[in-house]
Protein backbone atom coordinates (compact mmCIF):
# COMPACT_ATOMS: atom_id res chain seq x y z
CA UNK A 1 0.00 0.00 0.00
CA UNK A 2 1.28 3.43 -0.89
CA UNK A 3 -1.13 5.48 1.19
CA UNK A 4 -2.26 5.96 4.75
CA UNK A 5 -5.54 4.10 5.14
CA UNK A 6 -8.19 3.89 7.80
CA UNK A 7 -9.10 0.25 7.29
CA UNK A 8 -6.74 -2.71 7.52
CA UNK A 9 -8.34 -4.15 4.36
CA UNK A 10 -7.38 -1.04 2.41
CA UNK A 11 -11.01 -0.11 1.77
CA UNK A 12 -11.82 3.52 1.00
CA UNK A 13 -14.21 5.36 3.30
CA UNK A 14 -17.55 5.83 1.47
CA UNK A 15 -18.92 9.31 0.92
CA UNK A 16 -21.91 8.79 3.22
CA UNK A 17 -19.56 8.37 6.20
CA UNK A 18 -17.44 11.43 5.48
CA UNK A 19 -17.71 14.67 7.39
CA UNK A 20 -17.47 15.76 11.00
CA UNK A 21 -17.20 13.02 13.64
CA UNK A 22 -20.37 12.47 15.64
CA UNK A 23 -20.76 13.52 19.28
CA UNK A 24 -19.97 9.97 20.48
CA UNK A 25 -16.61 9.99 18.71
CA UNK A 26 -15.79 13.51 19.96
CA UNK A 27 -16.71 12.56 23.52
CA UNK A 28 -14.54 9.44 23.53
CA UNK A 29 -11.67 11.26 21.79
CA UNK A 30 -11.70 13.94 24.50
CA UNK A 31 -12.82 16.86 22.36
CA UNK A 32 -13.29 17.95 18.79
CA UNK A 33 -11.37 16.69 15.80
CA UNK A 34 -7.67 17.66 15.77
CA UNK A 35 -5.53 18.66 12.81
CA UNK A 36 -4.27 15.60 10.95
CA UNK A 37 -0.56 15.60 10.28
CA UNK A 38 1.77 13.40 8.25
CA UNK A 39 5.00 12.91 10.18
CA UNK A 40 8.21 11.49 8.70
CA UNK A 41 9.82 10.55 12.01
CA UNK A 42 12.06 7.53 11.77
CA UNK A 43 11.86 7.49 7.98
CA UNK A 44 8.24 6.30 8.03
CA UNK A 45 5.11 8.13 6.92
CA UNK A 46 2.87 8.37 9.99
CA UNK A 47 -0.58 9.91 10.34
CA UNK A 48 -0.81 11.78 13.63
CA UNK A 49 -3.95 13.11 15.28
CA UNK A 50 -3.54 15.15 18.45
CA UNK A 51 0.06 13.92 18.81
CA UNK A 52 -0.94 10.24 18.62
CA UNK A 53 -0.12 7.92 15.73
CA UNK A 54 -3.27 6.44 14.19
CA UNK A 55 -1.89 4.97 10.94
CA UNK A 56 1.37 4.54 9.04
CA UNK A 57 2.69 3.66 5.61
CA UNK A 58 5.51 1.11 5.51
CA UNK A 59 6.44 2.01 1.94
CA UNK A 60 9.36 4.36 1.20
CA UNK A 61 7.10 6.56 -0.96
CA UNK A 62 3.67 8.17 -0.94
CA UNK A 63 1.64 9.86 -3.66
CA UNK A 64 0.08 13.17 -2.65
CA UNK A 65 -1.35 16.35 -4.14
CA UNK A 66 0.11 19.53 -2.61
CA UNK A 67 -2.76 22.05 -2.52
CA UNK A 68 -1.41 24.84 -0.29
CA UNK A 69 1.74 26.08 1.43
CA UNK A 70 2.68 28.59 4.10
CA UNK A 71 3.55 31.93 2.54
CA UNK A 72 6.95 32.07 4.22
CA UNK A 73 9.64 29.64 5.28
CA UNK A 74 9.51 29.68 9.07
CA UNK A 75 12.26 29.30 11.64
CA UNK A 76 12.41 27.61 15.03
CA UNK A 77 15.11 27.34 17.69
CA UNK A 78 14.89 24.52 20.23
CA UNK A 79 17.12 24.40 23.28
CA UNK A 80 18.99 21.16 23.98
CA UNK A 81 18.68 17.93 22.02
CA UNK A 82 15.50 16.26 20.84
CA UNK A 83 14.10 13.60 23.17
CA UNK A 84 11.35 11.38 21.79
CA UNK A 85 8.12 11.68 23.74
CA UNK A 86 8.84 15.20 24.95
CA UNK A 87 6.88 17.99 23.29
CA UNK A 88 8.60 21.11 24.56
CA UNK A 89 7.99 24.04 22.25
CA UNK A 90 10.70 26.18 20.64
CA UNK A 91 12.51 28.81 22.68
CA UNK A 92 12.30 31.20 19.73
CA UNK A 93 10.41 31.00 16.44
CA UNK A 94 9.46 33.12 13.46
CA UNK A 95 6.53 32.69 11.11
CA UNK A 96 7.94 34.97 8.40
CA UNK A 97 11.60 34.01 8.80
CA UNK A 98 12.55 37.63 9.51
CA UNK A 99 11.62 38.53 13.07
CA UNK A 100 10.61 36.51 16.16
CA UNK A 101 6.90 35.93 16.66
CA UNK A 102 5.21 38.41 18.99
CA UNK A 103 4.30 35.64 21.42
CA UNK A 104 7.94 34.68 22.07
CA UNK A 105 8.86 35.57 25.66
CA UNK A 106 12.64 35.43 25.21
CA UNK A 107 13.55 36.26 21.57
CA UNK A 108 17.16 35.45 20.73
CA UNK A 109 17.48 38.56 18.55
CA UNK A 110 15.36 41.34 17.12
CA UNK A 111 16.20 40.11 13.62
CA UNK A 112 16.62 36.55 12.33
CA UNK A 113 19.28 37.70 9.85
CA UNK A 114 21.60 38.95 12.61
CA UNK A 115 20.83 36.27 15.21
CA UNK A 116 23.77 34.22 16.48
CA UNK A 117 21.56 31.10 16.29
CA UNK A 118 21.37 31.67 12.52
CA UNK A 119 25.13 31.31 12.01
CA UNK A 120 26.43 28.12 10.41
CA UNK A 121 28.16 26.11 13.14
CA UNK A 122 25.87 27.29 15.94
CA UNK A 123 24.10 23.91 15.80
CA UNK A 124 25.25 20.29 15.69
CA UNK A 125 27.66 19.13 12.98
CA UNK A 126 28.14 22.61 11.55
CA UNK A 127 24.43 23.28 11.10
CA UNK A 128 22.44 26.30 12.22
CA UNK A 129 20.88 26.10 15.68
CA UNK A 130 17.78 27.89 14.35
CA UNK A 131 16.22 25.63 11.73
CA UNK A 132 14.07 26.33 8.69
CA UNK A 133 10.74 24.64 8.11
CA UNK A 134 7.66 25.10 5.96
CA UNK A 135 4.12 23.76 6.27
CA UNK A 136 2.07 22.31 3.43
CA UNK A 137 -1.50 21.10 2.99
CA UNK A 138 -1.61 17.80 1.11
CA UNK A 139 -4.21 15.29 -0.05
CA UNK A 140 -3.76 11.57 -0.63
CA UNK A 141 -3.96 10.57 -4.28
CA UNK A 142 -6.62 7.92 -3.70
CA UNK A 143 -8.69 10.13 -1.35
CA UNK A 144 -8.72 13.63 -2.82
CA UNK A 145 -12.11 14.49 -1.34
CA UNK A 146 -11.12 13.20 2.09
CA UNK A 147 -8.87 14.57 4.81
CA UNK A 148 -6.47 17.48 4.41
CA UNK A 149 -3.12 16.73 6.04
CA UNK A 150 -0.39 19.01 7.33
CA UNK A 151 3.09 18.09 6.11
CA UNK A 152 5.90 20.09 7.71
CA UNK A 153 9.24 19.83 5.95
CA UNK A 154 12.68 20.73 7.37
CA UNK A 155 15.43 22.49 5.46
CA UNK A 156 16.94 19.20 4.24
CA UNK A 157 13.75 18.44 2.29
CA UNK A 158 13.24 22.04 1.13
CA UNK A 159 16.59 23.21 -0.19
CA UNK A 160 19.32 21.74 -2.35
CA UNK A 161 20.07 20.75 -5.92
CA UNK A 162 18.16 18.27 -8.03
CA UNK A 163 19.79 14.92 -8.72
CA UNK A 164 18.03 13.64 -11.81
CA UNK A 165 14.36 13.23 -10.90
CA UNK A 166 15.15 13.34 -7.16
CA UNK A 167 14.43 16.95 -6.21
CA UNK A 168 14.05 18.88 -2.94
CA UNK A 169 10.72 20.70 -2.85
CA UNK A 170 11.96 24.13 -3.97
CA UNK A 171 13.85 22.62 -6.89
CA UNK A 172 10.76 20.58 -7.75
CA UNK A 173 8.60 23.74 -7.69
CA UNK A 174 11.06 25.48 -10.04
CA UNK A 175 10.98 22.48 -12.35
CA UNK A 176 7.18 22.61 -12.58
CA UNK A 177 7.17 26.40 -12.95
CA UNK A 178 9.61 26.08 -15.85
CA UNK A 179 7.06 23.88 -17.63
CA UNK A 180 4.12 26.15 -16.71
CA UNK A 181 2.49 23.41 -14.60
CA UNK A 182 0.66 24.15 -11.32
CA UNK A 183 1.79 21.95 -8.43
CA UNK A 184 -1.80 21.57 -7.23
CA UNK A 185 -2.66 19.96 -10.57
CA UNK A 186 -0.07 17.19 -10.32
CA UNK A 187 0.12 13.96 -8.35
CA UNK A 188 3.49 14.20 -6.62
CA UNK A 189 5.55 11.33 -5.31
CA UNK A 190 7.26 12.04 -1.98
CA UNK A 191 10.03 9.49 -1.46
CA UNK A 192 12.57 9.03 1.32
CA UNK A 193 16.17 9.50 0.18
CA UNK A 194 17.80 6.27 1.33
CA UNK A 195 21.27 7.78 0.88
CA UNK A 196 20.62 10.32 3.65
CA UNK A 197 21.37 9.55 7.31
CA UNK A 198 18.19 11.31 8.45
CA UNK A 199 14.63 11.41 7.10
CA UNK A 200 14.88 13.46 3.87
CA UNK A 201 12.14 13.61 1.25
CA UNK A 202 12.66 14.08 -2.49
CA UNK A 203 9.86 14.83 -4.96
CA UNK A 204 8.90 14.06 -8.54
CA UNK A 205 5.83 14.35 -10.80
CA UNK A 206 3.75 11.19 -11.28
CA UNK A 207 0.76 12.24 -13.42
CA UNK A 208 -1.57 15.17 -14.11
CA UNK A 209 -4.94 15.31 -12.38
CA UNK A 210 -8.10 14.82 -14.37
CA UNK A 211 -10.41 17.83 -14.65
CA UNK A 212 -12.80 16.51 -11.93
CA UNK A 213 -9.81 15.75 -9.69
CA UNK A 214 -8.40 19.23 -10.30
CA UNK A 215 -11.70 20.84 -9.29
CA UNK A 216 -11.72 18.79 -6.07
CA UNK A 217 -8.08 19.64 -5.29
CA UNK A 218 -8.65 23.36 -5.79
CA UNK A 219 -11.70 23.34 -3.55
CA UNK A 220 -9.73 21.50 -0.87
CA UNK A 221 -6.87 23.99 -1.18
CA UNK A 222 -9.26 26.86 -0.38
CA UNK A 223 -10.90 25.06 2.55
CA UNK A 224 -10.60 25.98 6.22
CA UNK A 225 -8.72 22.73 6.86
CA UNK A 226 -6.05 23.75 4.35
CA UNK A 227 -5.73 27.19 5.94
CA UNK A 228 -5.24 25.61 9.36
CA UNK A 229 -2.70 23.15 7.96
CA UNK A 230 -0.35 25.90 6.81
CA UNK A 231 -1.05 28.41 9.60
CA UNK A 232 1.86 29.40 11.83
CA UNK A 233 0.64 29.42 15.39
CA UNK A 234 2.65 29.23 18.59
CA UNK A 235 1.30 26.98 21.32
CA UNK A 236 -0.22 29.04 24.13
CA UNK A 237 1.30 28.22 27.55
CA UNK A 238 -1.19 26.71 29.90
CA UNK A 239 -2.24 29.08 32.66
CA UNK A 240 -1.61 27.75 36.16
CA UNK A 241 -4.67 28.41 38.33
CA UNK A 242 -4.12 30.19 41.62
CA UNK A 243 -4.04 27.89 44.62
CA UNK A 244 -6.84 28.20 47.15
CA UNK A 245 -5.79 29.66 50.53
CA UNK A 246 -5.59 26.23 52.15
CA UNK A 247 -2.93 25.14 49.59
CA UNK A 248 -1.06 28.42 49.21
CA UNK A 249 2.64 28.27 49.91
CA UNK A 250 3.75 29.88 53.19
CA UNK A 251 5.62 33.13 53.01
CA UNK A 252 9.40 32.78 52.96
CA UNK A 253 9.75 35.32 55.77
CA UNK A 254 7.98 34.87 59.07
CA UNK A 255 5.75 37.73 60.11
CA UNK A 256 7.43 40.03 62.68
CA UNK A 257 6.33 39.51 66.27
CA UNK A 258 4.53 42.58 67.51
CA UNK A 259 5.27 43.83 71.02
CA UNK A 260 2.40 43.42 73.42
CA UNK A 261 0.85 46.82 74.14
CA UNK A 262 1.09 48.17 77.68
CA UNK A 263 -2.00 47.88 79.80
CA UNK A 264 -4.09 50.99 80.23
CA UNK A 265 -6.65 51.97 82.82
CA UNK A 266 -9.42 50.77 80.57
CA UNK A 267 -7.81 47.37 80.03
CA UNK A 268 -8.78 44.55 82.36
CA UNK A 269 -6.12 43.76 84.93
CA UNK A 270 -4.46 40.45 84.35
CA UNK A 271 -4.23 38.25 87.43
CA UNK A 272 -0.86 36.73 88.22
CA UNK A 273 -0.81 33.03 87.78
CA UNK A 274 -0.99 31.18 91.11
CA UNK A 275 2.06 29.12 92.05
CA UNK A 276 1.30 25.44 92.19
CA UNK A 277 0.92 23.93 95.68
CA UNK A 278 3.81 21.68 96.79
CA UNK A 279 3.05 18.04 96.44
CA UNK A 280 2.43 16.52 99.88
CA UNK A 281 4.99 13.91 100.84
CA UNK A 282 3.58 10.81 102.50
CA UNK A 283 4.33 10.62 106.27
CA UNK A 284 6.04 7.27 105.98
CA UNK A 285 8.44 8.70 103.38
CA UNK A 286 9.29 11.68 105.63
CA UNK A 287 10.11 9.34 108.53
CA UNK A 288 12.35 7.22 106.31
CA UNK A 289 14.27 10.30 105.12
CA UNK A 290 14.77 11.44 108.71
CA UNK A 291 16.10 8.02 109.65
CA UNK A 292 18.66 8.08 106.76
CA UNK A 293 19.81 11.53 107.80
CA UNK A 294 20.33 10.36 111.45
CA UNK A 295 22.59 7.57 110.29
CA UNK A 296 24.87 10.06 108.53
CA UNK A 297 25.52 12.13 111.62
For residue 284, the model assigns a pLDDT of: 53
Check: CB of residue 131 under 8 Å from CB of residue 165.
no
The CA distance from 249 to 118, in Å, is: 42
User: How many structural domains comprise the chain?
Assistant: 1
Domain presence at residue 285: no
Report if residue 240 sits inside a domain: no
Within-domain flag for 260: no
Mean pLDDT of the chain: 78
In this structure, are strands 52-57 and 61-69 parallel, antiparallel, or unpaired? unpaired
pTM: 0.69
The answer to whether position 145 is within a domain reads yes
Nearest to 146 by CA among 2, 12, 22: 12
For 244-289, the pLDDT digits (tens) are: 433 334 444 444 444 444 444 444 444 444 554 554 545 554 554 4
CA count, 13 A, side-chain hemisphere, 258: 3
Which residues are registered as beta bridge partners of 187?
A: 207
Q: Within a domain: residue 289?
A: no
pLDDT in tens, 17-75: 776 666 677 666 655 456 799 999 889 999 988 778 888 888 999 999 999 999 999 99
169 in a domain, yes or no?
Answer: yes
| Residue 230 main-chain phi, psi, to 5 deg | -100, -5
* SS3 state of residue 143: helix
Tell me if 254 is assigned to some domain: no
Whether 47 is in a domain gets the answer: yes
Q: What is the DSSP code (8-state) at residue 9? A: T
Residue 91, domain extent: 15-230
Amino acid sequence: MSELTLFKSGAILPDYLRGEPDELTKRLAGGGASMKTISTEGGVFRMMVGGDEVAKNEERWMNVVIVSAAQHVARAYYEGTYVKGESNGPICASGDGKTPDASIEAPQSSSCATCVKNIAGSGLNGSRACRFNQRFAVLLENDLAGNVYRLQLPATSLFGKAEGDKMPLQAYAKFLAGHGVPMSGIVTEARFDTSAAVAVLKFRAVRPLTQPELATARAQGASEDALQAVEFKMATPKEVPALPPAFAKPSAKAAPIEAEPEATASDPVKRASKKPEPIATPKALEEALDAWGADDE
